[in-house]
Amino acid sequence: MTALTLSTAAVPGLRADAIVVGVVKDDEGPRLAPGAEAVDKGYDGKLADVLETLGATGAPGELTRLAAPSGFKAPLVIAVGLGAEEDEGGFGTETLRRAAGVVARSLAGKAKAVYALPVGEAADVAAIGEGALLGAYSFTTYKDDEGVKAPLAEVVLVGAKPRDKGHKAAAERAQVLTEELNRARDLVNTPANDLYPESFAALVQGLAKDYGVKVTVLDEKALTKGGFGGIMGVGQGSQRPPRLVKVEYKGARAKASLAFVGKGITYDSGGISLKPAGHNETMKCDMGGAAAVLASVLTAAKLKLPAHVTGWLCLAENMPSGSATRPGDVLRMYGGKTVEVLNTDAEGRLVMADAIARASEDGPDVIVDVATLTGAMMVALGNEMFGVMANDDDFRATLHELSESAGEPSWEMPLPKSLLKGLDSSVADLANVGGRMGGGLTAGLFLQEFVGEGIRWAHLDIAGPAFNEGAPYGYTPKGGTGSAVRTLVRLIETAGEGELG
């Protein structure tokens, strides 16, 4: 794990592999961002001119490398583009986060980098720290050590004050948050032959003591006895039986109770409604919701946040076999509702419905479910934004605001009652799929049917941003991204501040 330290030392005297400065895009040519003054002095005040000669423009994420000035202990200066300043001046936290991440990824294999980027408020410390620590991430578990570059070992943030309580707290939070978010990325990236319901549950049990959380695991026998027909129905086609894992953290002086439900399909073949070639190669990522829920609960525990948080990880493999659920089968869900399964590839809502119904029995203030649920949401919102649905307008708006402030783009989506008709079944209480149009919204309406009366609930469909199949960008790697972790942590913090409403 990359280390993050704060320093007020003079930049020229710091030993490091590189010094990082920011470059602003301006109509009159690139100019230096605040924080670069000491480095600019080493170039006799002409660093911006040198960068322009080298072709730098200050465009977001652009990297320009040049030899450090004489007398500096670091051999290299890296100028990273920040784009244009915002209308009110300065730079948004997401701009700083992405810039820090681009640089950290480019410095894989190096020991130390000194970041001399704009630092004013604690929010800047948090953004740069998060960006650097997330950008340094790499998943190399299955690669030969030879030729594999280790992540950047240490980031030194100059201009941030180690004795400033706000700066120090922001750095500590960034270190904890990114460590757990990167754990979620590791889980998403782990292939299904190594990460399956039983092994996932065992991993969580192994963390309980160190984090002070209570872990309860229901195996296939307990699930059958308890009436969890959705989870069992999805998992019965696999040789790897399902699990329902409850991870509970009770913070001191908790001001609210939150329940998070995460879809944990460790591999999704589609079941009998088999996915075609080209659509199943990345389906190890279908447990991204469960990974996000686990990471958020562990973050809350490590930060000792004043909230009561329970995570429900719905773990199953969706496989075709002679014992698999067939299209047309009827499942009796936890709580008694019956569901006609018209498409076995709409399995995530089945496992989560059981857990939502069970979580409702505990009477939490809010329930939030997180899932890589529908391709329809990807069609609607693309690959970098998740959809937010809820049974309460204010709660939906709060989650949207929190996600945006955390650097996770989201969009508020409706739950039109007119689409409920599509879930009618002639033989059961509900069908698990409706019409083709509005499929992402219909999935949300289905889940809403299992929420306990009077409980505020929200559904985050992270199908788009949970797994990046393209090239890395900003602080986002190829593969698992850890989508929704930062949003859930912000919600826990908001609840701990007594502002959940």
Q: Is 275 a catalytic residue?
A: yes
Residue with tokens 């009477």: 363
At 280, list the tokens.
Answer: 């199943």
Q: How far apart are CA 266 and CA 283, in angstroms?
A: 8
355: burial class by Cβ within 10 Å (0-12, 13-18, 19+)?
buried
Check residue 492 and report its DSSP letter: H
Q: How many CB atoms lie within 10 A of CB 499?
A: 11
Check residue 365 and give left, alpha or beta (phi > 0: left; psi -120 to 50: alpha): alpha
Query: How far from 264 is each of 155, 184, 292, 372, CA to CA, in Å?
Result: 34, 12, 10, 9
Q: Is 41 a catalytic residue?
A: no
- Residue 359 near residue 367 (C-beta atoms within 8 A): yes
Indicate the SS3 state at residue 199. Answer: helix
The residue annotated as part of the active site, out of 185, 337, 349, 490, is 349
The residue annotated as part of the active site, out of 31, 250, 255, 275, is 275
- Residue 119 near residue 96 (C-beta atoms within 8 A): no
- First-last CA distance in the chain: 36
Check residue 46 and give left, alpha or beta (phi > 0: left; psi -120 to 50: alpha): alpha
Q: How far apart are CA 446 and CA 458, in angstroms?
A: 12
Distance of CA 11 to the CA centre of its chain: 34
At 373, list the tokens.
Answer: 């649920």
Q: How far apart are CA 19 and CA 21, in angstroms?
A: 7
Q: How far apart are CA 298 and CA 309, in angstroms?
A: 10
Residues with active-site annotation: 275, 349
